[in-house]
């Protein structure tokens, strides 16, 4: 893909985020899709490619009357929608599709239309982790978090500062699930969920959805919406279980995916004005800052604690409030991309001035999969 040859021309979330027991997962996919189509000024007849996780791609296409030439149901956890964007860009470049609709909808809190989360007994998790007492993501993620804190001397107060910084972005954002300003002391006083994570250091649990429309830059020029150009993409996978990470203090998938995105875009960390790093728990943005090359190993915790990622800081990060405060339906990646698009367009609830390059990065599973996007308001 030539940098800037593909654009995001539609980007929208479901009408509401939060606690929506009246909406099924499919409803949230469809509502988001219609909103994205409206944003782009397109109709279902203009779409010939659909991507989503699980069965949703086929269900969305059928419900909207889309005649597909290309379908992607890649499902690798929270960063799946990053991969959908990358795959859609490749499909459009190859002539397999002309306009691709990517949808997400998840009843993560109310569980309407959602199946039970379970790990197959034959999987590496089922064989080598679950028998030893891990009880889902919060306990699995403690393994790398504790090693990261020990190796780099990260204090409880520094880890808590991640939640504090992101709440400052969420505070003026009316769509954020948690908006009350908090202090480090508040975070440490919140309920202990699984050491070292307090409740405020864990993502919120919500219902919601989002959708994107991707097409060629040439076609984007004729549409009503302001296009956001894709300059670079990357994706990678590493281990199958968190206990098998080659280094608990660094994610190989993070390093490889981001390196490809930077290389394709022809830019580096110093060129980035705005950063979105998936934050299911407070430690993940710290890995992102280091593995993506924004700070040196061991510097991330102090970088956040010193206010560098907060409003007015030198590297605005997770500016919607992130998964810790804005929303987290279970697979947060769609919302990280949505905020990156809004910042590039200048339409974010809390806008960062003069964003010329936004870097969005997602993670799937326990650092097992990662994907990155470099977005810009104009073609290079």
Is residue 116 over pLDDT 80?
Answer: no
Is residue 203 over pLDDT 90?
Answer: yes
Task: Round to whole Å and give the CA distance between 135 and 166.
Answer: 27
Each residue of 145-183: pLDDT tens digit? 999 999 999 999 999 999 999 999 999 999 999 999 999
Q: Provide the 8-state DSSP code for 246.
A: S
Mean pLDDT computed over 188-205: 97
Each residue of 322-331: pLDDT tens digit? 999 999 999 9
Q: With contact defined as beta carbons under 8 Å apart, do 126 and 240 qualify?
A: no
- CB-based burial label for 365 (10 Å; 0-12, 13-18, 19+): buried
State both tokens at 202: 């864990």
pLDDT at position 126, please? Answer: 82
Task: Round to whole Å and give the CA distance between 39 and 60.
Answer: 18
CA atoms 49, 51, 55, 61: torsion sign: negative
Is residue 1 over pLDDT 90?
Answer: no
Each residue of 47-61: pLDDT tens digit? 999 999 988 999 999
Q: Lowest-confidence range among 59-63, 81-85, 115-119, 264-268?
A: 115-119
Angle at CA 332, nearest 5°, toward 309 and 209? Answer: 125
**Could you tell me which residue, 102 or 119, shows the higher pLDDT?**
102
pLDDT at position 216, please? Answer: 98
pLDDT at position 66, please? Answer: 98
pLDDT at position 337, please? Answer: 98
**Could you tell me which residue, 126 or 212, shows the higher pLDDT?**
212
Is residue 95 over pLDDT 90?
Answer: yes
Mean pLDDT computed over 267-288: 98
pLDDT at position 119, please? Answer: 76
pLDDT at position 129, please? Answer: 82
Mean pLDDT computed over 90-108: 98
Task: Round to whole Å and give the CA distance between 30 and 35.
Answer: 9
Each residue of 334-366: pLDDT tens digit? 999 999 999 999 999 999 999 999 999 999 988
Mean pLDDT, the chain, integer? 96
Mean pLDDT computed over 232-250: 93
Mean pLDDT computed over 234-241: 93
Task: Round to whole Å and give the CA distance between 211 and 47.
Answer: 13
| SS3 category, 292 | coil
- Quickly list DSSP for 91-153: HHHTTS-SEEEEEEEEETTT-TT-PPP---TTSHHHHHTGGGT--SHHHHTHHHHHHHHHHHT
Is residue 109 over pLDDT 90?
Answer: yes
State both tokens at 245: 């990470």
**Could you tell me which residue, 139 or 95, shows the higher pLDDT?**
95
pLDDT class for 123, splitting at 50, 70, 90? confident
Is residue 240 over pLDDT 90?
Answer: no
Q: With contact defined as beta carbons under 8 Å apart, do 241 and 139 qualify?
A: no
pLDDT at position 113, please? Answer: 77
For the chain, list the strands marked E by DSSP. 6-13, 49-51, 70-72, 99-107, 192-194, 197-198, 207-216, 228-237, 274-277, 358-364, 369-376
pTM: 0.97
Task: Round to whole Å and give the CA distance between 247 and 292.
Answer: 15
pLDDT class for 310, splitting at 50, 70, 90? very high
pLDDT at position 138, please? Answer: 86
């Amino acid at each position: 893909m030539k940098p800037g040859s593909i654009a995001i021309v539609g980007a929208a979330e479901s009408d509401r985020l939060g606690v929506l027991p009246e909406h099924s997962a499919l409803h949230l996919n469809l509502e988001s899709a219609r909103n994205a189509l409206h944003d782009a000024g397109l109709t279902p007849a203009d779409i010939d490619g659909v991507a989503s996780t699980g069965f949703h791609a086929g269900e969305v296409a059928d419900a909207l009357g889309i005649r597909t030439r290309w379908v992607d149901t890649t499902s690798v956890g929270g960063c799946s929608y990053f991969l959908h964007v990358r795959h859609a860009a490749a499909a459009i470049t190859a002539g397999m599709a002309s306009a691709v609709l990517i949808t997400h909808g998840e009843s993560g809190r109310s569980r309407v239309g959602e199946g039970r989360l379970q790990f197959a007994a034959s999987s590496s998790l089922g064989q080598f982790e679950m028998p030893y007492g891990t009880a889902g993501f919060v306990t699995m993620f403690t393994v790398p978090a504790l090693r990261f804190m020990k190796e780099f001397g990260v204090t409880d107060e520094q880890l808590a500062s991640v939640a504090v910084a992101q709440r400052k972005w969420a505070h003026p954002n009316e769509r954020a699930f948690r908006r009350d300003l908090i202090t480090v002391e508040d975070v440490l006083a919140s309920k202990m969920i699984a050491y070292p994570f307090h409740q405020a250091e864990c993502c919120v649990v919500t219902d919601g959805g989002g959708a994107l429309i991707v097409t060629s830059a040439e076609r984007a020029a004729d549409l009503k919406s302001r296009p956001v150009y894709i300059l670079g993409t990357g994706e990678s996978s590493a281990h199958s279980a968190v206990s098998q990470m080659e280094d608990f203090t660094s994610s190989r998938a993070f390093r490889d995916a981001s390196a490809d995105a930077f290389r394709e875009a022809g830019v580096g960390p110093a060129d980035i004005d705005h950063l979105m790093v998936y934050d299911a728990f407070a430690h993940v943005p710290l890995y992102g800052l280091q593995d993506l090359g924004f700070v040196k190993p061991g510097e991330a915790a102090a970088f956040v604690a010193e206010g560098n990622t907060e409003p007015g800081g030198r590297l605005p990060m997770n500016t919607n409030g992130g998964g810790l405060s804005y929303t987290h339906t279970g697979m947060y990646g769609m919302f990280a991309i949505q905020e990156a698009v809004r910042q590039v367009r200048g339409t974010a609830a809390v806008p960062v001035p003069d964003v010329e390059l936004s870097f969005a990065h997602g993670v799937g599973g326990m650092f097992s999969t990662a994907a990155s996007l470099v977005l810009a308001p104009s073609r290079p």
